[in-house]
Amino acid sequence: MNQAQIQTRAPMAPEMLRCRMCHTPVESGPVHVCEECFGPLEVVYDLDRLKGVLTRDQIARRPTDVWRYVELLPIREEPTIGRGVGWTPLLPAPRLGKALGVRDLWIKVDSSNHPTQSFKDRVVAVALQRAIEFGMTVVGCASTGNLANSVAAQSASAGLQAWIFIPEDLEAEKIVATGVHGVRLVRVKGVYDDVNRLCAEVADRFSWGIVNVNLRAYYSEGSKTMGFEIAEQLGWTTPANVVAPMAGGSLITKLRKSFKELTTVGLIEPATEPRFFGAQAAGCSPITTAMQEGSDRIRPVKEPRTIARSLAIGNPADGTFAVETMRETGGWGEGVSDPEIIEGIRLLATLEGVFTETAGGVAVAATKRLAAVGRLANEGATVLCVTGNGLKTSEAARSTFELSAPIDPRLSEVERLVSAG
Ligand X SMILES: *Cc1c(COP(=O)(O)O)cnc(C)c1O
Q: List interacting residues with ligand X (CB under 6 A).
A: 118-120, 146, 245-251, 310, 357, 359, 387-388
C-alpha atoms less than 13 angstroms from C-alpha of 210 in its C-beta half-sphere: 25
Q: Which of residues 23-62 bind Zn ion (CB under 5 A)?
A: 24, 34, 36-37, 39
The one of ligand X, Zn ion, none whose footprint includes residue 39, by CB under 5 to 8 A per kind, is Zn ion
Nearer to ligand X, 223 or 380 (CB): 223
CB of 6 to ligand X, least distance (A): 31
Q: What's the CA gap between 348 and 359, in Å, rounded?
A: 12
**Burial level of 205, CB count in 10 A (0-12/13-18/19+)?**
exposed
Nearer to ligand X, 228 or 267 (CB): 228
Alpha carbon of 63 to those of 83, 85, 117, 212: distances in Å?
Answer: 9, 11, 19, 27
The one of Zn ion, ligand X, none whose footprint includes residue 359, by CB under 5 to 8 A per kind, is ligand X
Nearer to ligand X, 146 or 329 (CB): 146
The one of Zn ion, ligand X, none whose footprint includes residue 37, by CB under 5 to 8 A per kind, is Zn ion
Nearer to Zn ion, 19 or 267 (CB): 19
CB of 32 to ligand X, least distance (A): 16
Nearer to ligand X, 246 or 336 (CB): 246
The one of Zn ion, ligand X, none whose footprint includes residue 275, by CB under 5 to 8 A per kind, is none
Confirm or reject binding of residue 372 to Zn ion (CB under 5 A).
no
Is the separation of the CB atoms in 140 and 104 below 8 Å? Answer: no
C-alpha atoms less than 13 angstroms from C-alpha of 264 in its C-beta half-sphere: 14
CB of 235 to ligand X, least distance (A): 26
CB of 111 to ligand X, least distance (A): 8
Q: What's the CA gap between 185 and 246, in Å, rounded?
A: 25
Confirm or reject binding of residue 20 to Zn ion (CB under 5 A).
no
User: At how many degrees (to 10) do helices 358-372 and 338-352 cross?
Assistant: 90
Nearer to ligand X, 120 or 130 (CB): 120
The one of ligand X, Zn ion, none whose footprint includes residue 58, by CB under 5 to 8 A per kind, is none
Q: What's the CA gap between 355 and 400, in Å, rounded?
A: 12
Long-range CB contact pairs, 290-297, < 8 A, 24+: 290/319, 290/320, 290/323, 291/323, 291/326, 291/327, 291/332, 291/333, 292/332, 292/333, 295/323, 296/320, 296/323
Residue 106, SS3 per DSSP: strand
Nearer to ligand X, 155 or 288 (CB): 288
The one of ligand X, Zn ion, none whose footprint includes residue 387, by CB under 5 to 8 A per kind, is ligand X
Q: Could you check whether the bond before residue 14 is cis, i.e. omega within 30 degrees of 0?
A: no
Residues making contact with Zn ion (CB under 5 A): 19, 21-22, 24, 34, 36-37, 39
